[in-house]
A = this chain, B = another copy of it.
Amino acid sequence: MRILFLGDVVGRPGRQAVTEELPRLRARWKLDCVVINAENAAGGFGITEAICDELLGAGADALTLGNHSFDQREALVFIERQDRLVRPANYPAGTPGRGATLVETAQGARVLVVSVMGRLFMDAMDDPFGAVERALSDCPLGAAADAIVVDMHAEATSEKQAMGVFCDGRASLVVGTHTHVPTGDHRIMPGGTAYMSDAGMCGDYDSVLGMAKDEPLRRFLQKTPGARLEVASGPGALSGIAVETDPRTGLATKVAPVRIGPHLDETKPVFWD
């Protein structure tokens, strides 16, 4: 099975990169499943229903979120009826939405998409490892799921790598998000799970995390209130990871980074292109 995961979509440049490129990539690479982290899709903060529909319409099978899940409050409502939108599984009980969803591909394969948030240097959430354990137990790879994608939305590389080790052999892919910087450590771990510490962002890389550079820099230099953070306005790039899985086991057989667009060294999966 061919899976593409794209990292945090940041504002209009990120959305445009997705809507312009994804339909073509989906066809050219014969993708079975596309998952996109969309926590910054609406002006850098959260997601609206219109944007959710736009990204699903462009070819995503499921969208994941993170610490910005509910920055747009309408997400608290429409997430209940949108079962392709997944917020971190380790939000407190009672939080609207779901932490995992089982997507059926056009070929009839079942892909479990799990979202979870780290805790190191981040807000106090429930235990991410326990939350993932439950998701994997409820819908095991090779049994109830033909592939499993875990989006580990976290700051610290230690916690992300630990989640990779924790899931190795039990998921198709563990991929980090949140830092908005793609990492070059894509690999297949000993147990057969593909791993990359961060998928990077879909957005304008001539920026600080996708936002126009001046105000973030100013905040490091001065400690006085300044302007709002605005999405950088240059053209966006796509960033993520491509994984091919063995349909019998759901484990990864090939993995490659995907980086297409301005400011990034272009890289594509040679095994598909």
Contacts and interface: CB of A to CB of B under 8 A. Distances in A.
B157 A209 contact: yes
A236 to B, nearest CB: 14
Given A161-B209, A162-B216, A213-B165, A181 B180 contact: no
Interface in A172-189: 179-187, 189
SS of A interface (majority): loop
Contact of A224 (B76, B129, B130, B190): B76
B180 A94 contact: no
A124 B129 contact: no
A192 interface: no
Interface stretch (A20-28, A104-112, A135-143, A256-264): A256-264
A49 interface: no
A101 interface: no
A50 interface: no
B161 A70 contact: no
A95 B224 contact: yes
A220 B179 CA distance: 20
B222 A95 contact: yes
Interface in A237-265: 239, 256-257, 259, 263-265
A230 interface: no
Contacts of A239: 184
B70 A225 contact: yes
Given A183-B183, A187-B264, A222-B92, A155 B156 contact: yes
Interface string A199-237: 010000111110001001100111111000000000000
A126 interface: yes
Interface stretch (A10-18, A32-40, A51-59, A115-123): A115-123
Residue among A129, A200, A217, A267 with the highest chain B CB neighbour number at 10 A? A217
Contacts of A134: none
A95 B189 CA distance: 29
Given A157-B181, A165-B208, A184-B264, 8 more contacts: A71-B225, A76-B224, A93-B130, A129-B220, A158-B208, A158-B209, A158-B216, A181-B198
25 contacts: A70-B224, A70-B225, A76-B224, A76-B225, A92-B222, A93-B130, A95-B224, A119-B124, A123-B223, A157-B179, A158-B208, A165-B208, A166-B217, A166-B220, A179-B197, A181-B184, A182-B185, A183-B184, A184-B200, A184-B239, A184-B265, A186-B265, A187-B205, A187-B265, A257-B265
